[in-house]
């Protein structure tokens, strides 16, 4: 059982699909909190009512090692004891809940109509525990509206937004939290999680480093930083972080986290050993085959299922990789457009070879560049997270199906029904690719992405067409 990623909200088990390098988060609500032993929280942790957060944390860690279910598999009461300890820890480390508990002896909201920021905050926690995330979000919004200085509400809202995959919202809440005099624990951790899922690997590493500086015994921060290091092939740093994470997991009695870290270390060591032991001369052919396989998966993955593949591929590309990959996709699409258009014009004898090739390449390039510019403008105007490398990646993936369609059109036109079918598929995939980029990479709202996609696509194609006509 892992240390809670979502304090007093959700426990999260985190692991890696080594084949696809996809990080998966599975949320488990703490519905069992209401089943905990009904006694004094301070007595559970064996601390005084005046204990500091550091003393509360130390007491919880000490008792958790004694009663952790992983260390007591034959004790049926260990899990219940551990749950009771965790409930007390989460309440007493939350300033708002602790204040309510000290005054009333309970932290549960009484069900009456909320009046104060603390009322909405406590009800938001209960909504989160029952997985009513949209309702919880509304309560935290209201709590912040009534008391903008309530830092805990920003952190809770960031946690819920992360569950709802609103990473731009998580970043906004974390940035607001960093403006407070006292930075709450987990702020940098959530900042790193959101940055990582948005594809900003280096920035995520920096955030996890700050989280570790705040809480040097948090194994999950080390684990997540190791995952980020692995993405950029910094094997030694990743292994070091995993070793540190396993040490803290073991010290805290979390055998599942310990074994997960150890298994990951073995895999990384094998990968590092293979890379170092391969002679330079023998790596040329396998590397070419590997690059060819990656290229095939990239192109055919985007052509086969753009809605799922586009964000998945982008999430594992840093800014330095997204830019060349986007240009590569655009190069494939523009080459197909130029060659296919040339064959069509050559067959109709409407243009000379040089004129046709130059005009088509220029037209396709104008479409590609206008897509990048409009993606960037809409992103900046609507204040979405992203960069020009991501815009280039989305634009390159968008022109790819168009280029492939033009390339096979000379053959498909022999069967009009086949050409019409391919036209429908191409139109659908092109729109879906651009829509996926807007909604899942730039994180625009669905309604905004639905209207932006056809508008931007029509404008870019019109610019390319006008450029072609001007040349001819």
- Which DSSP state fits 438? I
- 26: tokens are 């599975």
183: left (phi over 0), alpha (psi -120 to 50) or beta: beta
Q: How many residues does the chain have?
A: 472
* Alpha carbons 171 and 293: distance in angstroms, whole number: 35
**Cβ contact 228:208 at 8 Å:** yes
* DSSP per-residue codes, 94-114: SHHHHHHHHHHS--S--SSPP
How many Å is the maximal CA-CA distance in the chain? 91
Judged by average pLDDT, the poorest of 157-171, 332-346, 452-466 is 332-346
Q: List, for residues 156-200, the tens digit of each pLDDT value.
A: 999 999 998 888 889 889 989 988 888 888 899 999 999 888 878
SS3 12: strand
* Alpha carbons 438 and 379: distance in angstroms, whole number: 9
Domain spans of the chain, in order of start: 291-471
Q: What is the pLDDT of residue 34?
A: 38
Q: List, for residues 84-139, the tens digit of each pLDDT value.
A: 877 787 777 777 777 777 776 666 655 667 778 888 888 888 888 888 999 999 99
Give backbone dihedrals phi and psi of 403, rounded to 5 degrees, phi first: -65, -40
- Which DSSP state fits 50? T
265: left (phi over 0), alpha (psi -120 to 50) or beta: alpha
Under 8 Å CB-to-CB from 210, ≥6 apart: which residues? 188, 191
Under 8 Å CB-to-CB from 199, ≥6 apart: which residues? 314, 315, 316, 317, 318, 319, 322, 390, 441
The mean of the pLDDT values for the chain is: 78
- Return the bridge partners of 25, or none: 14
- Residue whose entry in the numeric block shows the structure tokens 């624990």: 185
Would the pTM of this model clear 0.75, i.e. be above it? no
First to last CA, the chain: 68
- Which DSSP state fits 228? H
Q: Please work out, in degrees rounded to the nearest 5, the angle formed at the alpha carbon of residue 163 by the alpha carbons of 21 and 166.
A: 90
Q: List, for residues 59-74, the tens digit of each pLDDT value.
A: 877 777 777 776 677 7
């Amino acid at each position: 059982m892992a240390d809670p990623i979502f304090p007093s909200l959700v426990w999260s088990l985190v692991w890696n699909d080594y084949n696809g390098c996809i990080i998966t988060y599975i949320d488990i609500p703490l519905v069992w909190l209401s089943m905990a032993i009904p006694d004094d929280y301070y007595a559970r942790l064996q601390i005084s009512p005046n204990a500091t957060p550091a003393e509360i944390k130390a007491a919880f860690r000490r008792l958790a090692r004694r009663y952790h279910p992983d260390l007591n598999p034959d004790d049926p009461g260990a899990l219940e004891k551990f749950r009771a300890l965790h409930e007390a820890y989460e309440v007493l480390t939350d300033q708002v809940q602790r204040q309510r508990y000290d005054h009333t002896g309970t932290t549960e909201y009484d069900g009456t109509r909320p009046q104060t920021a603390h009322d909405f905050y406590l009800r938001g926690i209960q909504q989160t525990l029952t997985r009513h995330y949209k309702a919880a979000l509304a309560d935290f919004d209201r709590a912040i509206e009534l008391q903008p200085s309530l830092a805990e509400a920003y952190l809770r809202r960031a946690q819920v937004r992360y569950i709802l995959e609103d990473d731009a919202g998580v970043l906004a809440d974390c940035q607001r939290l960093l403006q407070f005099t006292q930075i709450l624990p987990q702020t940098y951790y959530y900042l790193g999680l959101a940055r990582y899922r948005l594809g900003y690997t280096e920035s995520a590493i920096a955030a996890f480093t700050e989280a570790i500086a705040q809480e040097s015994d948090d194994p999950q921060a080390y684990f997540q930083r190791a995952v980020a290091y692995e993405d950029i092939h910094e094997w030694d740093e990743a292994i070091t972080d995993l070793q540190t994470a396993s040490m803290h997991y073991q010290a805290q009695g979390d055998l599942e986290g310990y074994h997960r870290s150890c298994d990951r270390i073995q895999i990384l060591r094998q990968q590092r050993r293979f890379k170092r032991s391969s002679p330079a001369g023998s790596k040329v052919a396998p590397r070419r085959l590997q690059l060819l396989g990656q290229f095939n998966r990239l192109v055919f993955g985007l052509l086969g299922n753009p809605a799922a593949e586009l964000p998945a591929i982008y999430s594992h590309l840093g800014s330095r990789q997204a830019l060349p990959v986007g240009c590569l996709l655009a190069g494939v699409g523009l080459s197909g457009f130029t060659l296919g258009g040339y064959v069509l014009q050559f067959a109709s004898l409407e243009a000379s070879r040089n004129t046709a090739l130059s005009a088509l390449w220029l037209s396709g390039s104008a479409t590609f560049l206008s897509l990048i510019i409009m993606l960037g403008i809409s992103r900046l105007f609507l204040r979405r997270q992203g960069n020009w490398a991501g815009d280039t990646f989305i634009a390159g993936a968008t022109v790819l199906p168009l280029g492939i369609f033009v390339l096979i059109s000379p053959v498909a036109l022999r069967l009009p029904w086949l050409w019409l079918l391919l036209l429908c598929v191409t139109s659908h995939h092109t729109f879906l690719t651009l829509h996926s980029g807007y909604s899942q990479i730039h994180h625009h709202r669905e309604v905004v992405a639905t209207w932006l996609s056809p508008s931007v696509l029509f404008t870019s194609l019109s610019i390319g067409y006008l450029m072609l006509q001007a040349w001819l």
